[in-house]
Copies of this chain bind each other. A is one copy, B any other.
């Protein structure tokens, strides 16, 4: 048992924390809200090798573990950085898993292609609204029993849909995303797509965990600073206890995210279930923390001038990309309890 980050991970964390603090300032985050994507930030990430850091080294990637990606995702989430790293990483994972995708992996590493993942299989040629798709050049999707990399003919655009989380949402339909490259077929395709979805859950959970930590920090800083009735509002027991509750759940969420990454890296049989648990719990905890933090900001928390609203919207919006959580809970129950009776 060792619940500490490795020395390398601590160094990685410091490095990416600095990057996001500089490149994903609240001003930059606000400026990117209309499109849901900060192209300049993405270029910096490409220069640092971040989009392909999880790709095997022999394909030109960084060969990082999921635990390493989680370290980066937490820091991105902390700054609500306007780039869809979980989607891009999961899509790159699928491209790297098929010889037909290796060319695209190289293009992702070179910054020529930005990939995204359609989490839900296509139905009648449509994947519905897909986070990241409005900024993406390639969307990896499951179409029947084919895993495909879809792209648009030159000159066409993926119309961004305004959305709660400024998540570069766009409808993905094969009418617009008409160029396809088949990455895998049959059971292997379905399995690969499910596996990428599981990876996406862990990485999104990590981003939500970073978001949660900063939302808590914003709330604690505000209640220590703001006075009412002659005392800092941090003095009030109900303020303290609600923050203590979300901080406690937060420690649990942080552990669960790291455990899910560890389980994936070590091939633990609980990996898929832990990915769902981490996703569900990180989402819920981020939502409760952001809501508490916003509430304790009083009326100011509700104004667009304060940063906490950026966190409040994304805490709910990011996980909604996967759909209604009831399906995730049912799938988790099946994973946990529907094996040999």
Flag whether A6 is at the interface (Cβ < 8 A).
no
> Distance (Å) between the CB of A223 and the closest chain B CB?
14
Q: Does A300 belong to the interface (CB within 8 Å)?
A: no
Copy total for this chain: 2
Contact with B along A206-245 (1 / 0, CB 8 A): 0000000000000000000000000000001110010000
> How many residues on A have C-beta within 8 angstroms of the other chain's C-beta atoms?
4
Q: Which residues of B contact A238 (CB under 8 A)?
A: 237-238, 241
Q: Residues of B contacting A241 with CB < 8 Å?
A: 238
Give the complex CA separation of A238 and B237 in angstroms: 6
Give bound CA distance, A53 to B155, whole Å: 81
Query: Separation in Å of the A338 CB from the closest CB of chain B?
Result: 20
CA distance A237 to B237 in the complex (A): 6
Q: What's the Cα separation between A236 and B237 when bound, in Å? A: 7
Tell me the complex Cα distance, A238–B238, Å. 5
Nearest CB in chain B: distance from A322 CB, A: 24
**Bound-state Cα–Cα, A238 to B239, Å:** 9
Q: Shortest CB–CB separation between residue A47 and chain B, in angstroms?
A: 50
Q: How distant is A142 from chain B, measured CB to nearest CB, in Å?
A: 33
Q: Which residue of B is nearest A242, CB measured?
A: B238
Residues of chain B within 8 A (CB-CB) of A237 are: 236-238
- A137 CB, nearest partner CB in chain B, Å: 43
Q: Within the complex, what minimum Cβ distance (angstroms) separates A238 from chain B?
A: 5
Q: Give Cα A241 to B236, complex, Å.
A: 12
A279 to nearest B CB, angstroms?
Answer: 25
- Closest B residue to A237 using CB positions: B237
Question: With the chains together, A283 CA to B222 CA distance in Å?
Answer: 39
Shortest C-beta distance, A329 to chain B (Å), equals 14
Interface hits, A229-285 → B, CB 8 Å: 236-238, 241
Question: Once the chains are docked, how many angstroms separate the CA of A332 from the CA of B248?
Answer: 36
Could you jot down 5 A-B contacts, CB within 8 Å? A236-B237, A237-B237, A237-B238, A238-B238, A238-B241
User: Which 5 A-B pairs give the minimum distances between C-beta atoms?
Assistant: A237-B237, A237-B238, A238-B241, A238-B238, A236-B237
